[in-house]
């Protein structure tokens, strides 16, 4: 799953796929990215450089209630786009555990 701040698409792609589904309060970007990659007919290019650095935190991991809400929306996006299954959501959440570990400076 690419980081959404560095996913560059033409406006025509958003128009063709219907843009963001605003029924998602937290995971509209995730739903859109799943929709795009499950229907993509063009090729993607990986750029092996850091283009954007995000701070830790945000709406999706502010507290346990938000994490639970995000997981529910992620599950709805996964099922709605017919991409992956239980292991998809498990691996997505385990990949974020490092965000909660304080890193040593130096």
Q: Tens digits of per-residue pLDDT, 7-66?
A: 888 899 999 999 999 999 999 999 999 999 888 777 888 888 888 777 766 777 767 888
pLDDT of residue 45: 83
SS3 category, 50: coil
pTM: 0.78
pLDDT of residue 103: 59
**30 or 105: which carries more pLDDT confidence?**
30
In Å, how far from its chain's centre is CA 79?
14
The answer to whether the CB of 83 falls within 8 A of the CB of 39 is no
pLDDT of residue 42: 76
Query: What is the helix (H) or strand (E) element at residue 78, kind and residue range?
Result: helix 64-80
CA neighbor of 1 nearest in space, from 20, 21, 27: 27
């Amino acid at each position: 799953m690419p980081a959404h701040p560095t996913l560059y698409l033409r406006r025509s792609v958003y128009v063709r796929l219907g843009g963001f589904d605003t029924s998602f309060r937290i995971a509209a970007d995730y739903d859109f990215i799943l929709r795009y990659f499950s229907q993509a007919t063009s090729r993607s290019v990986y750029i092996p450089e850091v283009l954007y650095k995000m701070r830790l935190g945000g709406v999706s991991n502010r507290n346990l209630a938000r994490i639970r809400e995000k997981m529910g929306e992620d599950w709805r996006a996964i099922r709605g786009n017919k991409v992956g299954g239980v292991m998809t959501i498990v691996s997505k959440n385990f990949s974020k555990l490092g965000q909660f570990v304080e890193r040593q400076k130096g």
